[in-house]
Structure 1
Amino acid sequence: MNYKRILTLLCGLSFTCFVLSAHLLVAEEPAPAAEAKPAEEAKPAEEAKPAEEAKPAEPKPEEPKPAEEKPAAEKPAEVAPSEVKVFPANVALTTSRDRQSVIVQAIYPNGITRDVTAEAKWNLANGDLAKFENYTVYPKADGETELAVEYAGITVQVPVKIEKAAEDRAISFKLDVMPVFMKGGCNTGSCHGAARGKDGFRLSLFGFDPNGDHFRLTHELSTRRINLAQPEKSLLVEKSVGAVPHTGGKRFAPESELNQTLIRWLEAGAVNDPGEVPAVTSVELYPPSAVMDGEGSTQKLTVRANYADGTSRDVTHLAFFISANETSAEVSQEGEVTAGTRGEAFIMARFDTHTVGSHFIVLPKGLEYEAPELAKNNYIDEHVNAKLKKLRIYPSELCTDEEFLRRVYLDIVGALPTVEEYKSFVASDDPNKRSVVIDELLERKEFVEIWVMKWAELLQIRTIPNNVTYKSMLRYYDWLQAKIASNTPIDQMTRELISANGGTFSNAATNYYQGERDTLKTAENIAQVFMGMRIQCAQCHNHPFDRWTMNDYYQFSAFFSQIGRKNGEDPRELIIYNAGSGEVKHPVSGQV
């Protein structure tokens, strides 16, 4: 995409301002005022009668108010949903310990969603194959059946497939125990996941090194941390359930499933997994979105992990939930979202190395909104209009010519219009004058200069004493200016930069590899500038809020490990070339 197209679209916006209107209900109290007058004139008996007659006259205008409010409050219950969704859309159970929680979401014509899991009618076609209890499917025997879910006259069929129902799944340190530390908050940066651990015990941050964690649990103070003869008396267990003093406090209850998992692992000998275990390939968070009607409304969540061996597993009880905006939507660690004040929030669920999100919008209770017809001048307008409709926000009016002219000049050329330019624009009767002035500004040299300035900062065009010479950077700057002035597409410019080779004088694009010569930092810069991703966190541990792992970080960095640099005939010039060798070593696994 080129600059002219980008700026034309951005400046073609109406510079929409979002105005949220709040309706205040003011209660009138005429009764006390009416009673105050007859209190002073109570002597004449005849004057008391008009005061009594005035009382029934005043409630009359008040009677229609509750009558009008009642139907408005009952409308959401009377309107039938336009769609009913069941999550997940299918159930696949493997082994006797597997299970799958199911939730039902009703979607209404106005976009509001409701959690109707408790109100829906459930019918399992074959009760000999599975058991449905507390909105969860449990295996009983191998086979396939269907779960019928009915709400408001709409029925949804959910296929259920069960395999190895008679087999018990062996306890796994990496698949079962490591998620307990994540759920309990034990391996976070504020607890034992800190670089130096906490109170003499260290875990890898967010579990990026499970083998190291197993070693520290079983070989460091083994007779204290774990007790294979009496698993319940292990220090690991007693501190977690609050049986003995613990700086982090009680993490979960003794009867909880998390604690039972730890005890089961200890009873099995606290062994590590004998080989590679199926990796988590993806994590699904349901529902993917919700529009909640009023403060206090709730929505249950369910999380399912998919593994490399083709199996899936309900990990709702093991996922760690986070809300990006707790004021609007707060989520409990049991997986229930509670609506707060008006706004939007992303609810995230973290399991293993994966973090997935769900978009929640919270609206005032019973908010009435009719989406206006908005102009669509380009595809950016389409996205803006869709967002306004989701949030039930009315856009402001179109800005005035004076406001538009000031904004477009500052955005495109970074300067204010002259008096002559202002008068000419305001006096023009051309209906397309806004588009005309945009095209004119895009052809001015100031447009090129302002974007060269922005890109020069991103590409680090600067001299470094005794390292990067003035001549090299001047050639680099001239190259960038020529690319922007000629409207070169960004993808083409990026390709020339990253694949550049030769001398920094003869091929100015090679200067990108002169300013930064560290392989890891080069990879970080390329990821941030050209891919829009900050991967620095993954250098030391798995990214806490994104999908990037340490393996991803070092594998990506390896692409730039064979960039060679040598001096040219001119000592001021550097030659960039493919060295044909070079590697990056993973600090934990030692792999290259």
Structure 2
Amino acid sequence: MRSYFNALASITIATIFSCTVVVAADSTSPAKATSAASLDFQNEIQPVLSRHGCNSGGCHGKASGQNGFKLSLFGFDDRFDYEAIVRHARGRRITPSAPEQSLLLLKATGQVPHGGGQRLDPDSEGYQTLKNWIAAGAPASAPDSPRVIKLQIEPTQVVFKADQTQQLKVIAEYSNGERRDVTRQASFDSNLDVIAAVDEEGLVRVNDERGEAAIMARYMGQVAVFYAIRPHGDALAEIPGWTPNNYVDELVAAKWKKLGLLPSGPCDDATFLRRLTIDLCGRLPTSIEAREFLADQDANKRQKLIDKLLDSPDYPAYFATRWSAILRNSSLAGADRAAYAFHSWIKDNLAENRPYDQFVRGIVAAAGEWQDSPAINWYWQSRDDQLHTVSADTAQVFLGLRLQCARCHHHPYERWGQEDYYGLTGFFTRLGRKSFGEPPPYFASANVSTGEKNPLTGKTPEPKYLDGEYAKFTPEEDPRHALVDWMAKPENPFFAKVLVNRYWGHFFGRGIVHEVDDLRESNPPSNPELLAALTKDFVAHKFDMKHMIRTMVSSRAYQLSSEPTEHNRHDKQNYARYYAKRVIAEVFADAVDQATGSKTKYNNMSAVSRAVDLPHEGFGSYFLDTFDRPRRVSSCECERATGATLAQVLLLANSDDLENKIASGTGKIATLVKEKRPAKEIIDELYLGALARFPNADELTKTHTFVESLPADKQQQALEDILWAVLNTREFMFNR
């Protein structure tokens, strides 16, 4: 009770002398700043608050603050935080005449009730820093106080042995050239604790899992990354039997050598045919295609297949579906005809292999009526919050930057702040739209078309290139074209890289940066050299998407088996085997139709239309929804779930719809039986049509014996049971 009354007394004293506190704290003369250099609020106090979580999102840094006390998230706004501590609540949080009785310290040390519990030990360095600062009159930072401009971590990479530890050292570089060891003030996090964990002092300890973990050090809005490598085996001089097809194979092999990884062997022809056809065309190979490819003795047949599928109409049809989901081409906007037109526009651009920068320009700088410029539907999807949704989607889709956080505060894990966010929105402040039509015509206005204000300036946001300068435009110019010009520059560090990473993730099951559209410094690539080489090649070939795809799928790395070996069974990020992935909803629905020979009909679509041809998500289908068709309310790839669920298993096992497709009188089995095909031949057709391979000897013996053991009038049902069993295998559900 005594400590509680002492706290009340300190609050009373602070209130009575609040004017004195403010006067002392307001002293920012050069002499004062110089004499209290070691007590600078920005460089000494903010790090203490950040280190102990006081300004985190779960404490006083959240939007509404905590118990009447609010700080900027991770200390991005020094002036706001200084005012909150020293001036707000009539200055009751600090007591310069008795620093140890300051409410700020009593709460942090748990001497009075505190919802966040004890955060500081009275004997700690952080406590002494705060106490000394308060005793000095709680000085504010001088106007010319140096700022942290860069963070370095030492060492940058270590190859660990079992039970080895490594102490990290973090060096902050300041705008005045000073370098300071800030290890004890920095915060640390690991992206893969199962491989390597780090404590609050920066001591890294490896665990049993093998691979590579990135340890992030954060201090004053800057980030540095340390790589902890836990090899799978001894470092290798060579990969036995590995002959690269292209530079992709050279760079993945270089990483395997460092990690002591040996890759799985190559996949067989049937697996490659099915894998590539699904990944490129969003469908299964037909039984005829499978027979021909398996019988082909040409040593170059895989490369010929790649070229053939890339030139087929199925490639643009499938990738139009993927892009329509990313660009949120949705029925929710209520413009059905425009959604059809936008989907067709995307497909046509992919079919003619329009360079990626021109494809993006057609979207970001779209103008006119939807009949002539279907891509304006991208803007119409965001009409309820046009400025901010479009800015956030542009950053995430085309730059791989998730800037939404920076709308209100400094990004918690990046260098981006409100100035960067509102600088990007500045390119869209003159986007105008007419008052008729759904969607209405869009145009580049000569005047500002939004009432939105930049909270930092109180003025309309002005265009500013990320990591660059502000830009000025005449009323006749469209700032959006300048934005695309900047994005498409060869030296732009984001634009080409995020597209390369997105496509790599599509074909290999995991992005070189994971997630594929989150290219922040604190989320480093698993193979930086590979990502850099792919990006350089993509830019050098004038953003040729087919060239990029051909390079990826022509590599030996893409053609590895998905079966793990004792040498790579723990590999989850370095592509020493192919990472099997569940077939996405639209492709899986079409696969079931194709394997059973029973076509699903979709309203307002032609009789031959497949699920991958649907322009938006508004076509009712319990099957598609169960297999996680995205609702297209987000531009994030994460909206499309990739895991298998119990509902999906039950649907395949018990669905009347699936049973009816298998037993359809016009389906594959009924047709083959009517043609009086032998049971063995029908079984071959079922396996070829679903799995792109013939049944193996054991499968053929069991299935054929099962059918032949039954009376003639029961054999069709037996064949239906075999197809049902095939459709319920992991091999059918997954692309492997």
TM superposition score normalised by structure 2: 0.54
Instruction: Spell out, residue by residue over 1:12-49, the C-alpha distance to the aligned partner (whole angstroms, 9 max, x if none).
Output: xxxxxxxxxxxxxxxxxxxxxxxxxxxxxxxxxxxxxx
Counterpart-to-counterpart distance in 2, 1:312 and 1:328 = 31
1:442 counterpart = 2:310: yes
Specify whether residues 397 and 259 from structure 1 end up closer, same or farther in structure 2 by C-alpha distance, changes over 3 A only. Answer: same
Deviation at 1:587, TM superposition (A): 3.1
Instruction: Spell out, residue by residue over 1:138-190, the C-alpha distance to the aligned partner (whole angstroms, 9 max, x if none).
Output: xxxxxxxxxxxxxxxxxxxxxxxxxxxx9973521112111110011111122
Contact 2:206-2:230 at 8 Å conserved across structures: yes
Deviation at 1:524, TM superposition (A): 0.4
* Amino acid aligned to 1:525: D
Counterpart-to-counterpart distance in 2, 1:442 and 1:478 = 18
Q: 2:300 pairs with 432, 442, 448, which one?
A: 432
The residue number in structure 1 matching 2:500 is none
Map 1:567-578 onto structure 2 (within 5 A). Answer: 567=435, 573-578=440-445
Contact 2:377-2:439 at 8 Å conserved across structures: no
The residue number in structure 2 matching 1:380 is 248
Deviation at 1:245, TM superposition (A): 4.4
In structure 2, the gaps of 5 or more residues are: 1-33, 461-736
The residue number in structure 1 matching 2:180 is 313
* Amino acid aligned to 1:515: Q
1:330 counterpart = 2:197: yes
Counterpart-to-counterpart distance in 1, 2:43 and 2:449 = 35
The residue number in structure 1 matching 2:697 is none
* Amino acid aligned to 1:441: L
Counterpart-to-counterpart distance in 2, 1:462 and 1:330 = 42
Q: SS state of the match for residue 299, structure 1?
A: strand
* Amino acid aligned to 1:300: Q
Q: 2:108 pairs with 223, 240, 251, which one?
A: 240
1:299 counterpart = 2:166: yes
Counterpart-to-counterpart distance in 2, 1:458 and 1:306 = 39
TM superposition score normalised by structure 1: 0.66
* Amino acid aligned to 2:352: S
1:413 counterpart = 2:251: no
Map 1:73-472 onto structure 2 (within 5 A). Answer: 169-222=37-90, 224-275=92-143, 277-294=145-162, 296-343=163-210, 344-363=212-231, 367=234, 371-373=238-240, 374-463=242-331, 468=335, 470=337, 472=338
For structure 1, which segment, 179-188 or 487-496, has the greater mean C-alpha deviation from structure 2 after superposition? 487-496
* Amino acid aligned to 1:414: G
Contact 2:419-2:456 at 8 Å conserved across structures: no
Specify whether residues 461 and 575 from structure 1 end up closer, same or farther in structure 2 by C-alpha distance, changes over 3 A only. Answer: same
Contact 2:151-2:222 at 8 Å conserved across structures: yes
Counterpart-to-counterpart distance in 2, 1:495 and 1:561 = 17
Contact 2:335-2:438 at 8 Å conserved across structures: no
Contact 1:514-1:574 at 8 Å conserved across structures: no
* Amino acid aligned to 2:398: F
Counterpart-to-counterpart distance in 1, 2:235 and 2:202 = 29
* Amino acid aligned to 1:417: P
Deviation at 1:292, TM superposition (A): 0.7
Q: SS state of the match for residue 503, structure 1?
A: coil
Counterpart-to-counterpart distance in 2, 1:446 and 1:501 = 29
Deviation at 1:240, TM superposition (A): 2.7
Counterpart-to-counterpart distance in 2, 1:206 and 1:539 = 15
1:514 counterpart = 2:380: yes
Specify whether residues 203 and 409 from structure 1 end up closer, same or farther in structure 2 by C-alpha distance, changes over 3 A only. Answer: same
The residue number in structure 2 matching 1:483 is 349
Contact 1:505-1:573 at 8 Å conserved across structures: no
Deviation at 1:473, TM superposition (A): 3.5
Q: SS state of the match for residue 217, structure 1?
A: helix
Identify, as 1 or 2, the structure richer in helix: 2
In structure 1, the gaps of 5 or more residues are: 1-165
Deviation at 1:243, TM superposition (A): 4.2
Counterpart-to-counterpart distance in 1, 2:352 and 2:265 = 36
Deviation at 1:221, TM superposition (A): 3.9
The residue number in structure 2 matching 1:71 is none
Counterpart-to-counterpart distance in 1, 2:103 and 2:449 = 46
Deviation at 1:273, TM superposition (A): 2.2
Deviation at 1:481, TM superposition (A): 1.9
Counterpart-to-counterpart distance in 2, 1:298 and 1:196 = 40
Deviation at 1:226, TM superposition (A): 0.9
Instruction: Spell out, residue by residue over 1:442-490, the C-alpha distance to the aligned partner (whole angstroms, 9 max, x if none).
Output: 111111100111112222334556x6462x3444333222211111111
Counterpart-to-counterpart distance in 2, 1:567 and 1:168 = 60
Deviation at 1:588, TM superposition (A): 5.6
Counterpart-to-counterpart distance in 1, 2:303 and 2:341 = 35
Contact 2:99-2:131 at 8 Å conserved across structures: yes
Contact 2:85-2:91 at 8 Å conserved across structures: no
Contact 2:432-2:449 at 8 Å conserved across structures: no
Instruction: Spell out, residue by residue over 1:251-306, the C-alpha distance to the aligned partner (whole angstroms, 9 max, x if none).
Output: 23333322222122112211222425333222112222211111x21111111222
* Amino acid aligned to 2:361: R
Counterpart-to-counterpart distance in 1, 2:133 and 2:224 = 28
Q: 1:497 pairs with 355, 359, 363, which one?
A: 363
Counterpart-to-counterpart distance in 2, 1:395 and 1:571 = 53
Counterpart-to-counterpart distance in 2, 1:479 and 1:417 = 26
Instruction: Spell out, residue by residue over 1:203-230, the C-alpha distance to the aligned partner (whole angstroms, 9 max, x if none).
Output: 2221122222212211234564211001
Deviation at 1:400, TM superposition (A): 1.0
- When Rg is computed on C-alpha atoms for both structures, the one with the higher figure is 1
Counterpart-to-counterpart distance in 1, 2:69 and 2:442 = 49
Contact 2:153-2:170 at 8 Å conserved across structures: yes
Instruction: Spell out, residue by residue over 1:541-567, the C-alpha distance to the aligned partner (whole angstroms, 9 max, x if none).
Output: 222222222222122112211111124
* Amino acid aligned to 1:262: L
Counterpart-to-counterpart distance in 2, 1:418 and 1:203 = 61
Counterpart-to-counterpart distance in 1, 2:440 and 2:52 = 56
Specify whether residues 220 and 524 from structure 1 end up closer, same or farther in structure 2 by C-alpha distance, changes over 3 A only. Answer: same
Deviation at 1:368, TM superposition (A): 7.0
* Amino acid aligned to 1:424: E
Identify, as 1 or 2, the structure richer in strand: 1
Deviation at 1:244, TM superposition (A): 4.2
Specify whether residues 469 and 566 from structure 1 end up closer, same or farther in structure 2 by C-alpha distance, changes over 3 A only. Answer: farther
Contact 1:539-1:554 at 8 Å conserved across structures: yes
Deviation at 1:426, TM superposition (A): 1.4
Cα RMSD after superposing both structures = 2.6
The residue number in structure 2 matching 1:120 is none
Specify whether residues 475 and 198 from structure 1 end up closer, same or farther in structure 2 by C-alpha distance, changes over 3 A only. Answer: closer
* Amino acid aligned to 1:486: E
Deviation at 1:367, TM superposition (A): 4.7
Contact 2:433-2:440 at 8 Å conserved across structures: no
Contact 1:563-1:576 at 8 Å conserved across structures: yes
Contact 2:328-2:381 at 8 Å conserved across structures: yes
Counterpart-to-counterpart distance in 1, 2:56 and 2:254 = 38
Q: SS state of the match for residue 215, structure 2?
A: strand
Counterpart-to-counterpart distance in 2, 1:476 and 1:290 = 49
Deviation at 1:191, TM superposition (A): 1.7
Equivalent residue pairs, number:
422
